[in-house]
Amino acid sequence: MAEDMVTTLYAPDAGEEPLLSLPDVSMLKTAPVTRLSFRGREEARKAAGKGFGFALPTKALNAKTKDDKAALWLGPDEWLLLAQDDALETTLSSLEKALSETPHALVDVSHRQDAILVTGSKATWLLNVGIAIDLHIDAFAVGTVTRTLFNKAPIMLWRVSEDSFVVEAWGSFMDYVSGIMIEAAEELKAA
């Protein structure tokens, strides 16, 4: 379910060549998406769910998807809400209406971050070049999302299928993150 949604939401950027294309792993830059940082307590979470179209996840470090939207639980009172790039105004309007009587913070961070899709049987190997988290499927299951560091760059990592991940980073860090993975992939070419 999440993988199907991700291919719709995180479509490859039109006209972009893959950043990396090897038999066991690929890395694609994605087209822009709507990203809203939402913070609020329980009452606000429930109201935001009504405005967003489905209840936001309550399980720590997990994502929930429906149609072409996703809600990623990033902290005790923080979610990243994702929608199609052209849905910013309607999504914001719906959320603001639902949250009008509830204390909350809702910020458009769409242009702050970029995303890449890392897929293939060697995706976890490539990500572990810079991430000190156990990405084995038993430890980091499909649907798990977390903030972490890729070497020294802060990222958000979401496992969308057994061999597919979304990596989000601030635009100013993405060349650093993807560059390290491309360089590390030289080992796969040599193997």
The average pLDDT across 168-179 equals 97
* Mean pLDDT, the chain, whole residue set: 93
Q: What is the pLDDT of residues 27-53, one digit of tens each?
A: 999 989 999 999 999 999 999 999 999
The average pLDDT across 181-191 equals 85
Dihedrals phi, psi of 28, to nearest 5 degrees:
-125, 135
The average pLDDT across 114-127 equals 96
Q: Which letter does DSSP use for residue 138 in this model?
A: T
Determine the topology of domain 1-31+112-191 in CATH. Gyrase A; domain 2 (3.30.1360)
Angle at 141 between CA 161 and CA 158, to 5 degrees: 60
pLDDT at 190: 64
The average pLDDT across 55-69 equals 94
The average pLDDT across 68-81 equals 96
Confidence class of residue 118 from pLDDT cuts 50, 70 and 90? very high
pLDDT at 139: 97
Confidence class of residue 1 from pLDDT cuts 50, 70 and 90? very low
DSSP 24-68: TEEEEEBPPEEEEEEE--HHHHHHHHHHHTSPPP-STTBEEEETT
Q: What is the pLDDT of residues 5-20, one digit of tens each?
A: 566 788 777 677 899 9
pLDDT at 11: 79
β-bridge pairing 69-75 and 105-108: unpaired
Counting residues of the chain whose pLDDT is more than 70, the rounded percentage is 94
pLDDT at 2: 53
Determine the topology of domain 33-110 in CATH. Alpha-Beta Plaits (3.30.70)
Q: Determine the 3-state secondary structure of 101 from DSSP.
A: coil
Confidence class of residue 90 from pLDDT cuts 50, 70 and 90? very high
pLDDT at 5: 54
Evaluated on CA atoms 89, 31, 9, 155, the torsion sign reads negative
Two tokens, residue 88 = 């910013």
pLDDT at 12: 78
Residue that is written with structure tokens 């939207």 in the block: 69
pLDDT at 8: 74
The average pLDDT across 94-106 equals 97
Q: Determine the 3-state secondary structure of 82 from DSSP.
A: strand
Q: Could you tell me the residue ranges of all domains in the chain? A: 1-31+112-191, 33-110
Q: Do domains 1-31+112-191 and 33-110 have the same CATH topology?
A: no
First to last CA, the chain: 34
